[in-house]
Amino acid sequence: MIAWRFYVNNLQRLVSYRAEFWIGFLGTLVSQIGVAYFLWKAIYQARGVESLRGYTFGGIMLYYLLVPLVERVGHAQEMTGFSGEIYDGGLSRYLLYPVSYFRIKYAGNLAQATVYLVQLVLILVAYGFAFGMPSGFSPLSILQGLAALGASLTLCFFLSAALEMVAFWADNVWSLWILVRMTISLLGGGMIPLAFFPGWARAALAWLPFGSLIDFPIRCLLGKMGCGEWMMGLAVAFAWAGAFGAATAVLWRRGLKSYAGVGI
Amino acid sequence: MGRYLRLYGHFVRFSLSKAMEFRFDFFFRVFMDLAYYGIQIAFYNVVFLQTTALGGWNRDQALVFLGGYLVVDGIGMTFFSNNLWWLPNAVNHGDLDYYLVRPVSSLFFLTLRDFAANSLINLAFALGILVWAVLRLPQLPGPGTCALYLVMIAAGALLHGLLHLLLLIPVFWMHSAGSLHGIFYSFSRFMERPDRIFTGWTRRVLVTVFPFCLMASFPARVFLEGPGWGIVLHFTAVLTAMFLFVAWFWGKGLRAYSSASS
Amino acid sequence: MIKARGLSKTFRVHKKEAGLKGSLRALFAREWTTVHALKGVDLDVGAGEIVGLVGANGAGKTTLVKALSGILYPSGGTAEVLGHVPWQRKNEFRRQIALIMGQKAQLWWDLPAGDGFMLLREIYQVPKDRFRANLDALVEALQIRDKLGIQIRRLSLGERMKMELIAALLHQPKVVFLDEPTIGLDLAAQRAIRNFILEYRRRENPAMILTSHYMEDIERLCERIVLMRDGELVYDGPRVKLVSAYASHKVLTAHLRVGETPADGPPRPEAGRAPGEILEWNGTQLKVKVDRADAAAAASHLLQTYPVADLSIEEEDIGTVIEAMLGKKGAVA
């Protein structure tokens, strides 16, 4: 299948970015976790308690360890190349291929996600050896987590696709994308676990797509999810994925009409 | 020298006219940075739901620190960031060649050519946030301290630019640029929080060799707790050392420049 | 004005195997190879000379130019341009040189040419009236005044190159390095630029080094040619000598009077004469390639045998000569 070829190609390309592969990853990991470590150590010390909102200090550190890993699996490659392809006419190439453009892109996305999933597993295993697995962790939680990651992946793909469609009409999409990423980071639990938000905020966020991308998969993996809550979370995630998918389809059709294929 | 000032005047003029061309992009960047400011403020508010003190400061004091940080960031974004973003590209694609052939400092061009007008607007907002946070304090420090604070903030922004440049110079040897930017932005996170939450060797590194914690925290400490010779000396020493080191390191980089052949 | 002795430059480049396995291996260990771009080059160029630097891609031409303009530090050897060591990059040195690279724009992409020139005036500290005079003269010569307000990225390639040329000469440099200045241009633009370069030489008497793949550039502009192969100079001397000493053939072109040509096929040379190679025969024109020594004899033979309206004897095309020389092994005296 052609899409498989793209998958392998992408995998190859990714592995060749040697320094970026390791340094970039480690840099983000160390800084995100480093800052969180000191921040929460100060907070737990100031409060003098063992556990806050259901997280022990160790538990919250594991949460922060998982944030970049889960984020990467979910966000993977997205569609960020798309606006560039509109701008320089590279899209034309894909329109000629006998495969759906989105299938190609999704294949690439999966390739990237696979690499990151491997990273996630390796690091979790290392953590397990060093500190022992947390109590909530179990085969069930792994399963829930994988399902949640799949939902997150799909949701993120269609979210980014819908956003990238704007490239048909506007000059510059990346700033829009950064804005969205920042919002996801705060409202999705990337900066602070959603458990710490005030009650009214948590209730609202349960219906929004942001939490599905970070907080939801992590809580699944840590075994903090009851089955009912888990199914609800999946439903919300797939519903939003469907909504963005539909928006993408509409924008794609309208955008292609105005696509001029200009560029070098 | 007057020449460099006049050149910089040209830079600003040209950058402004270019910015006016892409209006959607211009307004969007302003909006994006404002969202960033909002998110940081929200973050601190959530954190202070769990505790009353962080790094030796209460909520109002921490917000003054945050305002100062946003100003430092704003200054950096206005003058340096765009240029530094493209620096590795210039090195890798041989754009540096033409600058090396001219009787002008290549570093001057490479770090200052693009004046980000949209960030200037954000800087104004950041100053507004700072003033708002300061006015919430029960007691304001004297004018001398305020002046010192502003000087240190400006110096902090300069230090920020120097650090970013420092982390980019390895591109002369490495050629792969993405990770270098990534490292800088990752470690910039340390700058967003009060420095005293960090302890031990981490803290020592963050206030000397990679002085991310110096840039916003030290000025804030001077402002909120009064100036002390220790802090000011420490700050000046690190800034000077960093400046000299970066100048030397840049020279080394140019020597190793192998100039992508056509 | 330009003096180079024993210039050498080596680069380290890393290799990678093709395929996924190679990528994975490269993740952990890399293999390096050394590229010798320049191997002990000696060169002298004086005022008013335009030296043509010719060679295959990768022969080291651009590396040599970059070393002499101060962009690269050589791995060995010395050079002096206008009395300065180029890679020390003193401002006094840089104010008197110019570099034009056909494949890389020096003017800022998003600025109109006029603004770019203003920046350059500031950089080179050219006094206002001299700048005005220079700019007017250059713009007139290249006929491009109406494009000064348009952003560089919107200009056509030819227009862009003209702007680049103006930008490089605004400060009246005494040493000019031109790296493929006419690449990708249409014939009219190429000609305009060649004439322009000659005019500049006439006025300012600079030392110029020109790199080009277009033989017409070399023929029209350079009286002296330097051939490079694999980082070494294999020939340094007058262009005409190159052809007369190393071209082994001449080309005779005979235009025949129409209506009186023999009806059958290509003519055969008479027995006893050295055979010439027939390059072209279309009923009205006969082109023959003969050994140099036999040119005169072959000419008289043609005049006797055919109804010749016009006969010309030309040197072999210089491109062919150079190609042959570059293909030879070892140095050429």
The pLDDT tens digits along chain B (262 residues) read 788 999 999 999 988 888 887 777 788 889 889 999 999 999 999 999 988 888 889 999 999 999 999 999 999 999 999 999 999 888 888 788 888 889 988 889 999 999 999 999 999 999 999 999 999 999 888 898 999 999 999 999 999 999 999 999 998 887 766 678 888 888 888 999 998 899 888 889 888 889 998 899 999 999 998 888 899 999 999 999 999 999 999 988 888 886 554 3
Specify the CATH number for the domain of residue C221. 3.40.50.300
Instruction: Identify all chain A residues contacting B200, using CB atoms and an 8 Å cutoff.
Output: none
Whether the per-residue pLDDT at A18 is higher than 60: the answer is: no
| Distances in whole angstroms, Cα of residue A125 to Cα of each of A91, A132, A144, A218, B155 | 41, 9, 18, 15, 45
Q: How far is A31 from chain B (nearest CA, A)?
A: 6
**Does C223 share its domain with C281?**
no
Q: How far is B36 from chain A (nearest CA, A)?
A: 7
Choose from A33, A175, A181 for mutation: most chain B CBs within 10 A: A175
> Which residue in B has a C-alpha nearest to residue C115's C-alpha?
B14
Single-letter residue type at B236: T
**Does C120 share its domain with C61?**
yes
Pairwise CB contact (< 8 Å): C20 & A8 = yes
Burial of B60 from C-beta contacts in 10 A (0-12 / 13-18 / 19+)? middle
Pairwise CB contact (< 8 Å): B102 & C11 = no
On whether residue B215 sits in a domain, the answer given is yes
pLDDT of residue A132: 78
**Does C236 share its domain with C252?**
no
Lowest mean pLDDT among A50-54, A97-101, A173-177: A97-101
Single-letter residue type at A200: W
The pLDDT of A83-94, averaged and rounded, is 64
Quote the CA–CA distance of A186 and A194 in Å, as a whole number.
Answer: 9
Count up the domains in chain B and report the number. 1
What ipTM was estimated for this complex?
0.84
Tens of pLDDT along B32-71? Answer: 899 999 999 999 999 999 888 888 899 999 999 999 999 9
**Is residue B3 less than 8 Å (CB to CB) from chain A?**
no
Burial of C325 from C-beta contacts in 10 A (0-12 / 13-18 / 19+)? middle
On whether residue B152 sits in a domain, the answer given is yes
**Does C253 share its domain with C235?**
no
**Does C231 share its domain with C272?**
no
| Beta pairing class for C97-101 and C175-179 | parallel
Of all residues in chain A, the percent with pLDDT exceeding 90 is 15
Instruction: Identify all chain A residues contacting C31, using CB atoms and an 8 Å cutoff.
Output: none
**Does C125 share its domain with C266?**
no
Pairwise CB contact (< 8 Å): C27 & A8 = no
User: Comparing C-alpha atoms, which of C291, B8, B103, B47 is closest to residue A35?
Assistant: B47
DSSP 8-state secondary structure symbol assigned to residue B142:
P
**Is residue A15 less than 8 Å (CB to CB) from chain B?**
no
Confidence band of A262 (pLDDT split at 50, 70, 90): low
Quote the CA–CA distance of C238 and C223 in Å, as a whole number.
Answer: 6
pLDDT of residue C272: 40
Instruction: Identify all chain C residues contacting B18, using CB atoms and an 8 Å cutoff.
Output: 110-111
In this structure, chain A runs to a length of 264
The two tokens of residue A47 are: 């409060």
Quote the CA–CA distance of C75 and A86 in Å, as a whole number.
Answer: 45
Specify the CATH number for the domain of residue C291. 3.30.70
User: Comparing C-alpha atoms, which of A261, A104, A78 is closest to residue A181?
Assistant: A78
pLDDT of residue C331: 47
Count up the domains in chain C and report the number. 2
Q: Residue B259 is nearest to which of C72, C106, C108, comparing CB atoms?
A: C72
Higher-pLDDT residue of B125 and C58 is B125
Tens of pLDDT along C226-235? Answer: 998 888 888 8
Whether the per-residue pLDDT at C140 is higher than 80: the answer is: yes
**Does C237 share its domain with C259?**
no
Q: Chain C residues within 8 A (CB-CB) of chain B? A: 11, 37, 62-63, 66, 69-73, 89, 91-92, 94-95, 97-99, 101, 103-104, 106, 108, 110-111, 115, 118-119, 122-125, 179-180
Pairwise CB contact (< 8 Å): C119 & B10 = yes
Chains that touch A (3 or more CB pairs under 8 A): B, C
- The beta strand positions in chain A, using DSSP E, are 51-52, 55-56
Q: Residue C104 is nearest to which of B6, B97, B258, comparing CB atoms?
A: B97
Over its C-alpha atoms, chain B yields an Rg (Å, rounded) of: 19
Confidence band of A122 (pLDDT split at 50, 70, 90): confident
Phi-psi category of B241—alpha, beta or left, where left has phi over 0 and alpha has psi -120 to 50? alpha
Of all residues in chain C, the percent with pLDDT exceeding 70 is 87
3-state secondary structure of A51: strand
On whether residue B261 sits in a domain, the answer given is no
pLDDT of residue A84: 64
Read out DSSP for B11-77?
A: HHHHHHHHHHH-HHHHHHHHHHHHHHHHHHHHHHHHHHHH-S-BTTB-HHHHHHHHHHHHHHHHHHI
Whether the per-residue pLDDT at C60 is higher than 80: the answer is: yes
**Is residue B20 less than 8 Å (CB to CB) from chain A?**
no
**Is residue A43 less than 8 Å (CB to CB) from chain B?**
yes
On whether residue C24 sits in a domain, the answer given is yes
3-state secondary structure of B147: helix
**Does C51 share its domain with C187?**
yes
| Distances in whole angstroms, Cα of residue B188 to Cα of each of A27, A32, B34, B260, C72 | 11, 10, 18, 31, 34
Whether the per-residue pLDDT at A110 is higher than 90: the answer is: no
Pairwise CB contact (< 8 Å): C27 & A12 = no
The two tokens of residue B59 are: 């909520």
* Helix axes B229-256 and B143-168, enclosed angle (nearest 10): 20
Range of the domain at B226: 2-256
Quote the CA–CA distance of A254 and B12 in Å, as a whole number.
Answer: 39
Phi-psi category of B5—alpha, beta or left, where left has phi over 0 and alpha has psi -120 to 50? alpha
Q: Per DSSP, what are the bridge partners of residue C45?
A: C2
In degrees and rounded to multiples of 5, residue C125 shows phi and psi of 55, 50
pLDDT of residue B255: 83
**Is residue A58 less than 8 Å (CB to CB) from chain B?**
no
Tens of pLDDT along A129-176? Answer: 888 777 778 888 888 888 999 899 889 888 888 888 887 777 667 777
The pLDDT of C150-165, averaged and rounded, is 87
In the predicted model, what is the mean pLDDT of chain C? 82
Whether the per-residue pLDDT at C24 is higher than 70: the answer is: no
Range of the domain at C268: 248-315
Instruction: Identify all chain A residues contacting B52, using CB atoms and an 8 Å cutoff.
Output: 46
Cβ pairs bridging B and C (under 8 Å): 67
The two tokens of residue C39 are: 């191997």
On whether residue B262 sits in a domain, the answer given is no
Q: Residue A186 is nearest to which of B42, B183, B187, comparing CB atoms?
A: B42
Q: How far is B11 from chain C (nearest CA, A)?
A: 9
Q: Residue B50 is nearest to which of A43, A172, A191, comparing CB atoms?
A: A43
The two tokens of residue C37 are: 């771009």
3-state secondary structure of B207: coil
The two tokens of residue A137 are: 């962790």
In the predicted model, what is the mean pLDDT of chain B? 89
pLDDT of residue A264: 35
N-to-C CA span, chain B: 35
Q: Residue C20 is nearest to which of A12, A18, A21, comparing CB atoms?
A: A12
Confidence band of C250 (pLDDT split at 50, 70, 90): confident
Tens of pLDDT along C80-113? Answer: 999 999 988 888 999 999 999 887 888 888 888 9
Instruction: Identify all chain A residues contacting C19, using CB atoms and an 8 Å cutoff.
Output: 12
Instruction: Identify all chain B residues contacting C36, using CB atoms and an 8 Å cutoff.
Output: none
**Does C172 share its domain with C234?**
yes
Chains that touch C (3 or more CB pairs under 8 A): A, B
Choose from A16, A31, A172 for mutation: most chain B CBs within 10 A: A31
> Which residue in A has a C-alpha nearest to residue C19's C-alpha?
A12
Whether the per-residue pLDDT at A9 is higher than 70: the answer is: no
Quote the CA–CA distance of B12 and B104 in Å, as a whole number.
Answer: 18
Choose from B17, B89, B98 for mutation: most chain C CBs within 10 A: B98
**Does C30 share its domain with C130?**
yes
Instruction: Identify all chain B residues contacting A163, using CB atoms and an 8 Å cutoff.
Output: none
A 10 A CB-CB count for A25 gives: 19
The two tokens of residue C48 are: 């008013």
User: Comparing C-alpha atoms, which of C253, C252, C250, C255 is closest to residue C310?
Assistant: C255
On whether residue C122 sits in a domain, the answer given is yes
Pairwise CB contact (< 8 Å): B174 & A192 = no
Pairwise CB contact (< 8 Å): A17 & B178 = yes
**Is residue C271 less than 8 Å (CB to CB) from chain A?**
no
**Does C94 share its domain with C220?**
yes
Q: How far is C22 from chain A (nearest CA, A)?
A: 9
**Is residue A45 less than 8 Å (CB to CB) from chain B?**
no
> Which residue in C has a C-alpha nearest to residue A9's C-alpha?
C20
Tens of pLDDT along C10-22? Answer: 887 776 666 666 6
3-class DSSP string for chain C = CEEEEEEEEEEEEEECCCHHHHHHHHHHCCEEEEEEEEEEEEEEECCCCEEEEEECCCCCHHHHHHHHCCCCCCCEEEEEECCECHHHCCHHHHCCEEEEECCCCCCCCCCEHHHHHHHHHHHHCCCHHHHHHHHHHHHHHHCCHHHCCCEHHHCCHHHHHHHHHHHHHCCCCCEEEEECCCCCCCHHHHHHHHHHHHHHHHHHCCEEEEECCCHHHHHHHCCEEEEEECCEEEEEEEHHHHHHHHCCEEEEEEEECCCCCCCCCCCCCCCCCCCCEEEEECCCEEEEEEEHHHHHHHHHHHHHHCCEEEEEEEECCHHHHHHHHHHCCCCCC
Q: Residue B22 is nearest to which of A32, A35, A171, comparing CB atoms?
A: A171
Q: How far is C143 from chain B (nearest CA, A)?
A: 25
Confidence band of A81 (pLDDT split at 50, 70, 90): low
Pairwise CB contact (< 8 Å): A15 & C24 = yes
Tens of pLDDT along A174-223? Answer: 777 888 888 999 999 999 999 999 989 999 998 999 988 999 999 998 88
pLDDT of residue A139: 85
On whether residue C290 sits in a domain, the answer given is yes
